[in-house]
Amino acid sequence: MSKVIEGLYYSESHEWVKVEGEFAYIGITDFAQHQLGNIVYVDMPEVDDEVSKDEDFGAVESVKAASDLLSPVSGTVVEVNEKLSDEPELINQDPYANWIMKVKLSDAGEVEGLMDSKAYEAIATE
């Protein structure tokens, strides 16, 4: 069974969000990395890019497939996880420790529309 962490928010497209003040860290869930298999490349946005809720912000490529990443929130990218450029497999090792981007939220209320761990568990086990 996929690991789901309490205290994070989740999107239907299998991204997680960790909110810290006006910032949010965003990555993909354990379920998503299991579905993809061995991740070989992470296409990340640039710092200062604007991301919009439910819009593409990058992609994750594995030996099996490529999957677009959809931003669960809107905001400005303030940091990307540079480690993933050289070691995309870190997401397979621990998807919750290896976030993809950090965003300054433009509408913190959007987080309320995301799922909590219990709701996400229900769809991530299907």
106 in a structural domain: yes
- Sequence-distant (6+) residues with CB within 8 A of 123 are 12, 115
pLDDT at 8: 98
Question: 114 with 11: CB under 8 angstroms?
Answer: yes
Q: pTM for the whole thing? A: 0.96
Residue 101: CB atoms within 10 Å: 26
Domain containing 117: what range? 9-124
Residue 125 reports pLDDT greater than 80 = no
Residue 46 reports pLDDT greater than 80 = yes
4 in a structural domain: no
Q: Provide the mean pLDDT of the chain.
A: 96
Residue 34 reports pLDDT greater than 70 = yes
In CATH, what number is assigned to the domain containing residue 51?
A: 2.40.50.100
Domain count, the chain: 1
Q: Give me 116's structure tokens.
A: 């909590």
3 in a structural domain: no
115 in a structural domain: yes
116 in a structural domain: yes
How confident is the model over 73-96, as pLDDT tens digits? 999 999 999 999 999 999 999 999
Residue 3 reports pLDDT greater than 90 = yes
Residue 2 reports pLDDT greater than 90 = no
Q: Give me 44's structure tokens.
A: 């990340």
Residue 116 reports pLDDT greater than 90 = yes
Name the percent of the chain lying above pLDDT 90: 95
Residue 126 reports pLDDT greater than 70 = no
pLDDT at 87: 98
pLDDT at 47: 98
72 in a structural domain: yes
